[in-house]
Amino acid sequence: MDNLIIEGTKQSPSVNFNAANGKLELSGRSIPENSFEFYNPLLEWLGEYAKAPKDETVLKVYLEYFNTSSSKYILEVLKKLKEVLKAEGVKVKVDWCYDEDDEEMMETGEDYEDVTGLEFDYHEIEE
């Protein structure tokens, strides 16, 4: 299947979902007014990917800002990622990255970990 690559803007994050190696990345700002429009292609891609995933899938999330309308869709992305686990013997992990001292972003990761039950690793990025 094709990779999903979307360039970031001031409103929306950059996306680099690589189907060939199972490395998925979402980074930048996520403050679009219409989150559905932006996130729906990601959800569709993940739905396809979940049918024949790599042995190990890692989603790296490194967001600077996000609005509450995005937060629901980020949860949907994580739920789709959880579907990947239905395939036998596969591993899925979220690398949750946040800027140094950005406790709010770290806590948001913990909230998602709690709500989804996915495995999260936290990385504080020094500026």
Partner 1 sequence: MNVMVSQKIKTILRHQGAINGPIISELLDDLDFKCINRDISDVKRKKIFNLAVEMYQNLYQYTRDLSVQGYDDQDIRSVYLSFDFDDEYYYLTTENYVSNEDVEGLIQKIDLVNKLDSSELRAYYREILSNEQFSEKGGAGLGFIDMKKRSGLPLEYQIEKLDENISKYILTVKVEK
Q: Is the Cβ–Cβ distance between 82 and 116 less than 8 Å? A: yes
Query: Which residue lies nearer to partner 1 by CB, 68 or 89?
Result: 68
Cβ at position 68, least distance to partner 1 in Å: 4
Cβ at position 9, least distance to partner 1 in Å: 10
- State both tokens at 27: 């980074």
Question: From CA 9, how far away is CA 29, in angstroms rounded?
Answer: 8
Chain positions contacting partner 1, by CB under 8 A:
10-11, 31, 33, 64-69, 71-72, 75, 99, 101-102, 104, 107, 111, 114-115, 127
Count of all residues that appear for the chain in the document: 127
Query: Which residue lies nearer to partner 1 by CB, 72 or 86?
Result: 72
Cβ at position 20, least distance to partner 1 in Å: 32
Query: Which residue lies nearer to partner 1 by CB, 40 or 67?
Result: 67
Question: From CA 41, how far away is CA 122, in angstroms rounded?
Answer: 26
Question: From CA 51, how far away is CA 37, in angstroms rounded?
Answer: 23
